[in-house]
Amino acid sequence: MTDIRQETDYTLFRPILETEKSFYWIVATLLGIIFWAGYMYINQIIYGLGVTGLNNTVSWGFYIINFVFFIGISHAGTLISAILRLSQAEWRRPITRMAEVITAIVLLIGAVHPILDLGRPDRILNVFLFGRLQSPLLWDVTAITTYFTASTIYLYVPLIPDIALLRDKTDKYKWFYQFLSWGYIGTEKQKHILERAMTILMVMVIPIAVSVHTVISFIFSMTIQPGWHSTIFGPYFVVGAIFSGTATLLVVMIAFRKMYHFENYLKEIHFQYLGLLLLIFAILWGYFTFSEFVTGFYGNEPMEMSVILYKFTGPYAVFFWLMVVLNFIIPVVVLGFKRLKTIKGILFTSMGVIVGMWLERLIIVVPSLSNPRLPYDVHFYIPSLTEVSLFMGGIAVFCLGFIIFSKLFPLISIWEIEEGRNEGLEEAQKRLESYLPSVEQVK
Amino acid sequence: MPRWGMVIDLNKCTGCSSCVTACRMENNIPNVGVEEAQNGRAMNWMEIITEYEGEFPNIRITHIPRPCFQCDDAPCVVVCPVHATFINEDGLVGQIYNRCIGCRYCMNACPYTAKCFNYSTPEIPEAFVPLQNPEVTKRMVGVVEKCSFCHHRLAMAKDLARYEDREMAEDEYQAACVESCPTTAMTFGDLDNPDHEVHHLKHSNRAFRLEEGLGTEPKVYYLKKEDK
Amino acid sequence: MTQKTPKWILFFQYVSLGFIWLLVLGIIVWIINLMKLSNYLHDAQNATIVISLIIIPIFITLAGVLSYVFFGLKRANREEITK
Ligand code: SF4
Ligand code: SF4
């Protein structure tokens, strides 16, 4: 066996083969947070939902907000990767894998949140035994299961050649990679099979991804509560989801680039392109937010108005305007000017967008519940320690999952980079020629 | 099939809360304690909403007793994922405590916020234990509950009639709140029975229902408060 | 590098492929159960049928794609080794 250090793309193998001390510290910290969250959740099981900050009017809080938020982030991955692959954008090569991993992990975390929210998690089986497909919650169950299955398969199939590489070139966990590689040895026929499967999956995954977030928004828009009952919610949620997903992808890319020294693979240009995508979605998001509120404002229905004023000038004004600044003003300013659009600038904006999108979910869920139609006393919703801990736990699971994945599989698709290097140029040239009229044809 | 409903005369209601108390005793509603109540988790199936109009010295107060309206087209029923809230054979909106998974979707979907949730294990004060109503299921932590129009009373009246081999008379079934009202502000009966008083009252020109425009078809009518 | 997969790994590969079909089967059984239930309760039969018409083919395609990849790769591998 040749020394793996001689490999051209050794940088990509390195995280799997070499483990630094700091890795164990990070894992220990994350595990600490996760155990703490687990302890809090056990508390909640024992004492009931009373340990949260919820009350009878505001009966949905952090858990549902985080559910929508996490599922939103999961749209980064598969959707972006599928679109870039389908459109054969050559700069996608180092990005797709990370995007897909985000989807798989975050989707799992998001899917757990409604269960955290249940008053009787022990009765979860009732959903399978006595479910009614009339309820939007059941639509969610089916949509998320579908999306999760599809995106995991879509993560796995392009991973096979890399697993085979690991099987052949390293000695670590040989049986594990042998098990997962499904006998891939890189013949023409096998490549062809993978390509075909990937095309089918890409075409399937895009509509599934779009529909999943629409279905999530249906939880809200199917009720007749002011502020929720709105037809714009479907596309609004989808745009918000891709927006927050792109921001997360950027943060993850920058973090791992620093951690594993991927500077030569993730170049300035990748961030520039994704930054452009982020800018477009910031503007789209601004447009949707504007049309969401302008219709309510113009219609001036008293119930709708009380919710809108609660957001604009009431107790939620701080969150609302902070969201507008983080999601619209900062991205447009930073990403719109070449001078500010450095990697640092993009990192700053993306983190802002993630926070801003979380605030958006907060602003959707709570104010509508805080403004019931009948004049009740409403208690301001303040999340308890349990809810905050579980949120932190969710984030910790995300980081941990990502780090463990990076220790088992390459975070940047090695075969795709290789393919790009070896065949991409020629192929791209051919493709370009096929798009353009040749000189003979025109003359 | 009778369409059970209620008419509440807001002119007569003094806001004395005896319906609230009667309901609590009838349906074994747990006490959540002062602290929890201050957190907005007080549980009441029947609740009195007080509306204030006007500036300070010339205030007009309206007390609106609010049970669950047993909507014919109930927004809370369609959203339940497990059929734990449903329209039962008597046209009332029932709640199956043993099936509810506690997702609280129905609470959010109800436009009248008529449901409440057991945030902690329900506790009944020691002194009240002998006064518990054996006809009403005790609820457990983590489920949603709401006014049932004292459905157990209907079941009992039906059983009695079947036992005595006769038709059930309409007045055998009364909700506890209606019985307890000292000013007879509430009238209970079959809304579709043209001979019954509720039928006349619901066609009075003072009659209205809350948020009628939503199309939920509540079965509780109010008679508007008029200034004398 | 061509190498034969050990028997026990092969066995687990088949088992893991079996899981995806088990999932599909589970989903189908679940949906049929819900259809029966909705029929019994007279409650939104149309919605149930529409959703099942969408969901079941999607899952079957997904599992089908995965099996196609699995058997395709295996066959190509065998051909290469026997060559
Ligand atoms: S008042 Fe609310 S809880 Fe009662 S039936 Fe109507 S929607 Fe359901
Ligand atoms: S809280 Fe219970 S009754 Fe209400 S929708 Fe959820 S499962 Fe149904």
Model-level pTM?
A: 0.91
- Collapse the DSSP code of A297 into the 3-class scheme (helix H, G, I; strand E, B; otherwise coil) and give the result: helix
Listed in sequence order, the residues at least 6 apart from B133 whose beta carbon sits closer than 8 Å to its beta carbon are B25, B26, B27, B28, B152
Measured distance CA(B6)–CA(B158) in Å, rounded: 19
Helix axes A302-312, A343-370, angle to 10 degrees: 140
**Cross-chain residue pair C72–A200, CB shorter than 8 Å:** no
Measured distance CA(A113)–CA(A397) in Å, rounded: 13
CB contact B214 to A (< 8 Å): yes
DSSP string, C14-77: HHHHHHHHHHHHHHHHHHHHHHHHHHHHT--HHHHHHHHHHHHHHHHHHHHHHHHHHHHHHHHH
> What is the average per-residue pLDDT within C5-22?
84
| Residues of chain A falling short of pLDDT 50 | 1
Q: Identify the band that residue C81 occupies on the pLDDT scale cut at 50, 70 and 90.
A: confident
Q: A369 vs chain B: nearest CA distance in angstroms?
A: 7
**Cross-chain residue pair A160–C73, CB shorter than 8 Å:** yes
Q: Which of A18-22, A348-352, B39-43, B89-93 has the lowest mean pLDDT?
A: A18-22
Q: Which residues' Cβ are closer than 6 Å to ligand 1?
A: B 68-71, 74-76, 93, 110, 112, 114-115, 146, 216
On the question of pLDDT at C1 being above 50, the answer is no
CA-only gyration radius of chain C, Å: 19
**Cross-chain residue pair C5–A178, CB shorter than 8 Å:** yes
Query: What pLDDT shows up at residue A355?
Result: 92
Q: Are B151 and B94 in contact (CB under 8 A)?
A: yes
**Cross-chain residue pair B119–A58, CB shorter than 8 Å:** no
Query: What pLDDT shows up at residue C4?
Result: 66
CATH placement of domain B4-223: 3.30.70.20
**How many angstroms separate the alpha carbon of residue B103 from the centre of ligand 2?**
5
Q: Identify the band that residue B8 occupies on the pLDDT scale cut at 50, 70 and 90.
A: very high
Question: What are the residue ranges spanned by the domains of chain B?
Answer: 4-223
Measured distance CA(A409)–CA(A180) in Å, rounded: 11
Q: What is the ipTM of this complex?
A: 0.89
Q: A59 vs chain C: nearest CA distance in angstroms?
A: 27
Give the Cα-Cα-Cα angle A41, A43, A48 (nearest 5 degrees): 95
Measured distance CA(B212)–CA(B39) in Å, rounded: 30
CB contact A197 to C (< 8 Å): yes
In total, chain B counts a number of residues equal to 228
- Which of C5, C34, C41, C68 is the mutation pick for testing A, counting most A CBs within 10 A? C34
Measured distance CA(A424)–CA(A94) in Å, rounded: 13
* Residue B1 token pair: 């099939």
**How many angstroms separate the alpha carbon of residue B71 from the centre of ligand 1?**
6
Q: Are A237 and A68 in contact (CB under 8 A)?
A: yes
How does pLDDT run across C46-67, given as a tens digit for each residue?
878 888 888 888 888 888 888 8
Q: C74 vs chain A: nearest CA distance in angstroms?
A: 6
Query: What pLDDT shows up at residue A3?
Result: 65
**Cross-chain residue pair A193–C69, CB shorter than 8 Å:** yes
**Helical spans, DSSP H, in A131-183:** 136-156, 160-169, 174-181
- Single-letter code of the amino acid located at A133: L
Q: Which of B64, B112, B211 to mutate to test the pocket of ligand 1 (most atoms within 8 A of CB)?
A: B112
Q: Are A167 and A174 in contact (CB under 8 A)?
A: yes
CB of B128 closer than 6 angstroms to any ligand 2 atom: no
Residue nearest to atom 5 of ligand 1 (CA): B70
- Single-letter code of the amino acid located at C45: Q
On the question of pLDDT at C2 being above 70, the answer is no
Strands B186-190 and B4-9: antiparallel
Residues of B in contact with A382 (CB under 8 A): none
- Single-letter code of the amino acid located at A108: L
Other Cβ atoms closer than 10 A to A232:
14
- Collapse the DSSP code of A363 into the 3-class scheme (helix H, G, I; strand E, B; otherwise coil) and give the result: helix
Helix axes A10-17, A385-408, angle to 10 degrees: 120
On the question of pLDDT at B156 being above 70, the answer is yes
CB contact B206 to A (< 8 Å): no
Q: A214 vs chain C: nearest CA distance in angstroms?
A: 15
How does pLDDT run across A8-58, given as a tens digit for each residue?
777 777 777 777 788 889 899 999 999 999 999 998 888 888 888 888 888
Query: What pLDDT shows up at residue C83?
Result: 67
Instruction: Give the distance, in angstroms, between the CA of residue B164 and the centroid of all CA atoms in the same chain.
Output: 29
**Cross-chain residue pair C9–A179, CB shorter than 8 Å:** yes
* Residue B25 token pair: 């005793």
Query: What pLDDT shows up at residue A338?
Result: 79
Residue nearest to atom 2 of ligand 2 (CA): B100
Measured distance CA(B32)–CA(A49) in Å, rounded: 13
CB contact A347 to C (< 8 Å): no
- Find the chain A residues whose C-beta atoms sit closer than 8 A to any C-beta of B: 47-50, 54-60, 114, 117-121, 123-124, 126-127, 130-132, 134-138, 141, 219, 222-225, 369, 372-379
On the question of pLDDT at B97 being above 50, the answer is yes
Query: What pLDDT shows up at residue A66?
Result: 92
Measured distance CA(A70)–CA(A47) in Å, rounded: 26
Measured distance CA(A350)–CA(A341) in Å, rounded: 12
Measured distance CA(B190)–CA(B90) in Å, rounded: 11
Task: Phi first, then psi: give them for residue B63, nearest 5 degrees.
Answer: -100, 130
Measured distance CA(B181)–CA(B7) in Å, rounded: 12
Query: What pLDDT shows up at residue A284?
Result: 92
- Which of C36, C43, C46, C51 is the mutation pick for testing B, counting most B CBs within 10 A? C43
Q: A331 vs chain C: nearest CA distance in angstroms?
A: 37
Query: What pLDDT shows up at residue A2?
Result: 56
Instruction: Give the distance, in angstroms, between the CA of residue B144 and the centroid of all CA atoms in the same chain.
Output: 14
Measured distance CA(A232)–CA(A292) in Å, rounded: 7
**Cross-chain residue pair A131–C37, CB shorter than 8 Å:** yes
Other Cβ atoms closer than 10 A to B55:
7
- Collapse the DSSP code of C81 into the 3-class scheme (helix H, G, I; strand E, B; otherwise coil) and give the result: helix
CA nearest A307: which of A266, A356, A367, A254?
A367
- Single-letter code of the amino acid located at A122: D
**Cross-chain residue pair A375–B81, CB shorter than 8 Å:** no
**How many angstroms separate the alpha carbon of residue A389 from the centre of ligand 1?**
34
How does pLDDT run across B172-209, given as a tens digit for each residue?
888 999 999 999 899 998 888 888 888 888 888 888 88
Residues of B in contact with A224 (CB under 8 A): 75, 109, 111, 214
Task: Give me the residue label for tokens 């099939």.
Answer: B1
